Amino acid sequence: MNRSSNVVRAVAGLSLALTCAGALAQSGSPPPGASPEDAAPPDPPAQAVRTPEELLYQEALQSLAEGRKSDASEQMSRLIGIVPQHAGAWLDLALIQCSLGQGDEAERLFANVETRFNPRREILELIAEARDTGCMRWTPASTAAISVSRGIDDNVNQGASNSSFIVEGPDGTVELPLLDDFLPKRDGYTQVSADYVRDVTANGTLGFLQFQGRRYDSLRDYDTTALYGGVESPWRLDTWLVRGTASLGLTGMGGHLYQRQGQAQLRVTPPVPLPPRTQLHVIGAVTRTDYATLSAFDANLIEGRLLLSHYTGALSATVTAGVQSDRALADRPGGDRHGAYVSLNLRRPLGWNTTGELAYTRQTWDSASAYSPELLIDQVRAQRTHVLRASLTYQIGKQQSVVLEARAVRNRENISIFQYNNRQLQLSWQWHTP
């Protein structure tokens, strides 16, 4: 079954709460064998408290909207066991079973709807369409995106802003000139990125792969490649939506393995009252990073953050704030460190098939001990990084777009050798599947 038919059925299922209620109301009669008291009651007033059955039905529809078809099927079945005269649940369950490839079960449910509920013509047409289409075996859907970019970077190696390093030695202040390798190096680059997402189960679990490769024109030792893959699965705890993600990745630099990384993340959407088109997510993650040749820098990163998003017809805004604890696994210079960050992202259409985006991030890190007294760096490192990004996206077709992006990084620290500035300008062509 293709993605478009899945979407049609999901949308149809979401609308059945109103459609079937209208069908029963206009038929003027309860299902065969039922008493007049069994007829569908009128819609309760907006301020009325929902019954457990109504809440269960809304949970099932929400599961369907989130792609958790197996959960929706189980919830609809439970609802029918509690309220056998619930026409909407019977029809929704039939459509879900059909989308899962359970043709015999779907036909039994369709026939039950037709004989028990005297449905309206629109619902009979919906059933006929489902029969004509056929209940093919569930087929995982997938999406893909590819991006090819050309850019220029004025500080590929994150070279120090100051050309000398001042230290306090036994004989007083000493100014040490930095070698050329530690000063900013400018170069152009070509970058290729690819993303692939595919359904793993009919209950909303996804698998994903991400690749990115950057090749510099001259500074080939700084070429980077990264490959990450993982799975994401949604579920519900009462009215709390939870998404769990597990991923593994490899990063290379200069043609050699540089870093291995694994991450486990939970994203929770609490049922808190918020303005329309506003969502709040609470995210927690644990990341393990191992370096191929710098084992002293291996660490576990624990972080928690809040993500608040708001959408209007013309503007989308996202604010993220979080705290981090970076725990060294060996004798890393500076030891453990803790940090915090905040980011703001604004996006809106500008007309002429163009969309503008502006983002700002501030990241802080504070180490627990002096960086390296042996190298005469006996200060406790305090890092403050500001990143400003702006982009223009021009849609050139249903599946293609061109993106012009500018990025500026200002890294300020109390140890001058680590201070750097960086600016990048990049032009990309992007393609994605429908």
In a shared domain, residues 160 and 267: yes
Q: How many CB atoms are located within 10 Å of the residue 182 CB? A: 16
Across 174-178, 341-345, 403-407, least confident range:
174-178
In a shared domain, residues 286 and 183: yes
Across 14-23, 158-167, 216-225, least confident range:
14-23
Please state the domain count of the chain: 2
Mean pLDDT is highest, among 125-134, 173-182, 289-298, for 289-298
In a shared domain, residues 8 and 149: no
Which ranges of 293-353 would DSSP assign to H, the alpha helix? none
Residue 170: per-residue pLDDT: 60
Residue given tokens 């990063």 in the structure block: 251
Distance of CA 157 to the CA centre of its chain: 30
In a shared domain, residues 172 and 80: no
Residue given tokens 């705890």 in the structure block: 237
**What's the whole-number mean pLDDT along residues 173-197?**
86
Residue 4: per-residue pLDDT: 36
In a shared domain, residues 69 and 168: no
Residue type, 203: N
SS3 107: helix
Residue 389: per-residue pLDDT: 97
Nearest of 253, 259, 249 to residue 224 by alpha carbon: 253
Residue 408: per-residue pLDDT: 97
Nearest of 290, 318, 317, 288 to residue 305 by alpha carbon: 318
Q: Name the β-bridge partners of 279.
A: 309
In a shared domain, residues 190 and 313: yes
Put simply, whether the predicted model's pTM sits higher than 0.85 gets the answer: no
In a shared domain, residues 313 and 227: yes
Q: What is the CATH number of the domain that holds 388?
A: 2.40.160.60
Residue 169: per-residue pLDDT: 59
**What's the whole-number mean pLDDT along residues 101-105?**
78
Q: Of 84, 103, 133, which residue constitutes the final position of a domain? A: 133
In a shared domain, residues 193 and 342: yes
DSSP states of 260-305 as a string? EEEEEEEEEE------TTEEEEEEEEEEEEEESS-GGG-EEEEEEE
pLDDT of 345-383, one tens digit each? 999 999 899 999 999 999 999 999 988 777 677 888 999
Across 289-303, 332-346, 370-384, least confident range:
370-384
Residue 421: per-residue pLDDT: 94
In a shared domain, residues 380 and 250: yes
SS3 43: coil
Asked if 183 and 210 touch (Cβ cutoff 8 Å), the reply is no
User: What stretch of H or E contains 377?
Assistant: strand 377-395
Q: Of 133, 166, 189, which residue constitutes the final position of a domain? A: 133
Given a cut of 50, whether residue 7 has pLDDT beyond it is: no
**Cα three-residue angle 294-364-315, rounded to 5 degrees:** 115
Burial of 112-125, coded b for 16+ CB within 10 Å and e otherwise, reads bbeebbbbbeebee
Task: Give the mean pLDDT of the chain.
Answer: 82
Query: Tokens in use for 346?
Result: 């604004």
Q: Of 133, 157, 188, which residue constitutes the final position of a domain? A: 133
In a shared domain, residues 161 and 129: no
User: What stretch of H or E contains 19?
Assistant: helix 3-27
CA-based diameter of the chain, in Å?
Answer: 102
Residue 375: per-residue pLDDT: 67
Q: How confident is the model at residue 166 (pLDDT cuts 50, 70, 90)?
A: low
Given a cut of 70, whether residue 295 has pLDDT beyond it is: yes
In a shared domain, residues 196 and 126: no
In a shared domain, residues 148 and 48: no
Given a cut of 90, whether residue 162 has pLDDT beyond it is: no
pLDDT of 223-261, one tens digit each? 999 999 999 998 877 778 889 999 999 999 999 999 999
Given a cut of 80, whether residue 213 has pLDDT beyond it is: yes
The residue that leads in pLDDT, 36 or 209, is: 209
Domain that holds residue 367: 142-432
pLDDT of 15-39, one tens digit each? 333 333 333 333 333 333 333 333 3
Alpha-carbon torsion, ordered 85, 86, 87, 88, to 10 deg: 180
